[in-house]
Amino acid sequence: MICTRLLSPIKNHQQKTILPIIEVDDFVIYKMISSDLFYNAKAINQYLNLKNDDLKEIFFDENVYFICSNKLFDNEFEKDHQLIKELKNSIYFHEFVLKQLKNFKEIVTNDGNGGSLILFDYMRGYHKPFYVFSDIEQTKKELDYLLELPEIKEDINYYLPLYDNYITKLKKANEAFNNKTSEIFLFVDQLLRTKIDTIIDDIENNVK
């Protein structure tokens, strides 16, 4: 249940897992975390500006978020994964979640600019990603990066879908999200206004 900004499979997925950030009604917003460095990733240690070595070997992309149903997430979540245990047992876990929620709120408030939200569903035996929104410039940079990888640029069956996702699917999704009367915008906006702000306040009060 992870992918690139172009909705393509992630390499070396064995080193990666999913981390829940917030549960809202029937959905979970989650992140991909990894034990190895990947495109546009940074260490959580660096993200939080820690002065020690804690969480220096857990990597993530601060601006890419995923969402799926609770049921689907529960089927795939590896609660005993070493990265999950290390992060959740860290004294910095709530600080990380708080910063990520504030970042997500800022991205949504800014009409999706600066970040990506990708929905996963389970269809015909496969996990299938769909855009909710994704920053055009960031997505184009990742497209350019992917097209330079030998295993991609030499395989027409791989790189053609990347172009289709970027040119067609991304444009359609962003247009829908930027329509303030669309169902997808109202869904995300409702999440933001009624749930995320409350959870941010709760975490801030507990961290103090």
The answer, yes or no, to whether residue 19 has pLDDT greater than 70, is yes
Cα–Cα dist 54/181, whole Å: 44
Question: Which of 56, 36, 38 shows the shortest CA–CA distance to 47?
Answer: 56
* pLDDT tens track for 147-162: 999 888 888 888 899 9
Sequence-ordered list of residues with C-beta below 8 angstroms from that of 71, at least 6 positions apart, any chain? none
Residue 72 has what pLDDT?
Answer: 98
Average pLDDT over every residue of 169-174 = 98
In the predicted structure, residue 93 carries a pLDDT above the cut 80: yes
More confident residue, 97 or 206: 97
pLDDT of residue 207: 66
pLDDT of residue 11: 76
90 in Cβ contact with 55 (< 8 Å): yes
Q: How far apart are CA 119 and CA 27, in angstroms?
A: 10
Report the run of H or E that residue 138 belongs to, with start and end.
helix 136-147
The stretch 93-97 carries a mean pLDDT of 96
> Residue 184 pLDDT > 70, yes or no?
yes
**pLDDT of 123 above 90:** yes
Buried b / exposed e along 138-172 (16+ C-beta atoms within 10 A): bbeebbeebeeeeebeeeeebbeebeebbeebbee
Confidence of residue 192 (pLDDT cuts 50, 70, 90): confident
Per-residue pLDDT, averaged over 58-87, amounts to: 97
Strands 116-123 and 27-34 turn out to be: unpaired
In the predicted structure, residue 95 carries a pLDDT above the cut 70: yes
